[in-house]
Amino acid sequence: MKMPSALRAAVLALAAFAGVTLSSAARADEGFVQLTIYKAGWVIGGSGGSGVLDFRGRRYPLSTGGLDYGFVFGGSKTILRGRVSNIWRPSDVAGVYGAAGAGLAIGRGARAIVLTNQKGAVLELTGHQVGLMANADLSGLAITMR
């Protein structure tokens, strides 16, 4: 059975595209992130903080900031540590991360979150939160390189 030349060309192009896509994903790297985030609010909340990215043997300072909207009450300090994957260069960590969540911290509480930005960087973070904070909200976190 003979395949028409247009169909054969389309199959070859699709195979080449898949090969390029898979090989570029194989070159993506990962690093380690530590963030300290201060959060406060009453219905509308805000957060800000700093952190560091360890990537390929170098440390890069980070800044964070964000807004929360929904049921937000109180103030807290959250320290998060974890892995960032699917990055090719340090600047891939910079971007806007969005999340919907709910939580309650009275004194000290545990936190775990997975976030993705528009560049495809994936943050897998765990840590602890200290303070009095109750929330059921939509939030956005922006990370920038300093």
Band of residue 112 on the pLDDT scale cut at 50, 70, 90: confident
- Is 80 contained in some domain? yes
Whole domain around residue 62: which residue ranges?
29-145
pLDDT of residue 113: 83
Residue scoring higher pLDDT (105 or 10): 105
Task: Specify the CATH number for the domain of residue 37.
Answer: 2.40.128
- Is 110 contained in some domain? yes
The sheet with strand 29-55 has its strands ordered as 29-55, 58-87, 122-145, 95-116
Do 47 and 64 meet the contact criterion of CB atoms below 8 Å apart? yes
What is the count of structural domains for the chain? 1
- Is 112 contained in some domain? yes
Q: What percent of the chain has pLDDT over 70?
A: 73
Question: CA 26, CA 1: separation in Å to the nearest integer?
Answer: 36
Write phi, then psi, for 110 (nearest 5 degrees): -90, 150
pTM of whole model > 0.85?
no
- Is 52 contained in some domain? yes
- Is 45 contained in some domain? yes
- Is 113 contained in some domain? yes
- Is 50 contained in some domain? yes
- Is 23 contained in some domain? no
Strand blocks (E) in the chain: 29-55, 58-87, 95-116, 122-145
